[in-house]
Amino acid sequence: MLDLNRLKALHAVHVYGSVGAAADALMVTPSAVSQQLAKLERETGATLVERNGRGVRLTDAAGLLAEHAERILALVETAEADFQALRGAVVGRLNVGAFPTAARGLLPRALVILRERHPELEVHLFEREPDRTLREVARGELDLVVAQDWMNRPLATPDGLSRRTLFDDIADLALPADHPLAVRRELELPDLIGEKWISSSVGQVCYDWLVYTLRTAELEPDISITADEYPTQLALVAAGLGCAIVPRMGRTSVPEGVRMVPLLPRLTRRIYTLWRADAARRPAIRAAVEALAEAGEEFSARL
């Protein structure tokens, strides 16, 4: 009989393309993955892995077995969800992913709610960018994720996921307090022609969104400084080094030297949680979704 953990290791290598990447996803060492593959080869009597330069390549037999493994792992997850639903107990381990501002601004309250109501549930939180968490929940590495996308540029959601919106997060313009436009009650993007911008790192969701949004307003982005954390961006704005668009959940406080000005039309990102539809019957999933929704309601009431 095929061992489930060995099939899981093979499937991870198939998905991620290398032993090292599979080990990172499974949170084990590369040698542990290699040992599982070697045992699976002995178990099946087939060559599954071939050397390819410094790495490895899966054989055709391994590819076929990995496809079966994907279906087997999905069935196992469905069986576990059904069994947990039958028991009705919110127990076990739940792996939750969240993008940085949600991990700081939303998850602490949600985790406290879960701990108070379901002390036997073991929650593990992983901070990730939204595009990565969507891939990881679709592949079963995370059980539940909190993601975000901008209303004018939504992220593509993989098939097989269920989704619940938590709240809408409005973004405002951060300007140096002595900027000539800082006295305005509201601004539109075309008012900001010629400005220097501060944004997240190149390739991240918020960087791509800012470039898209500015160009939609017929402004050519002049992004002179990048910083991934919104408090850092605000500190740079306070120093007079540029302006930034900062969601309200992204700022715990506004430093001296910064003026927040609302934009018209409103720039809004939607905060939501996703989980695999096959796992929706798990009491732990349902409990976590409710805790996130409650935390989201509390936060949005303060916006």
State pLDDT tens for residues 107-156. Answer: 999 999 999 999 999 999 999 888 889 988 988 889 999 999 999 998 88
- CA dihedral of residues 15, 18, 19, 21 (deg, nearest 10): -70
- pTM reported for the whole predicted model: 0.76
Give CA–CA dist 228/206, Å, rounded. 9
Higher pLDDT, 23 or 144: 144
Count how many Cα atoms sit within 13 Å of the Cα of residue 21 in the half-sphere of its side chain. 11
* Buried-exposed string 107-119: b where 16+ CB fall within 10 A, e elsewhere: bebbbebbeeebe
Single-letter residue type at 197: W
Q: What is the mean pLDDT of residues 188-209?
A: 94
3-class secondary structure, 120 = coil
Single-letter residue type at 83: F
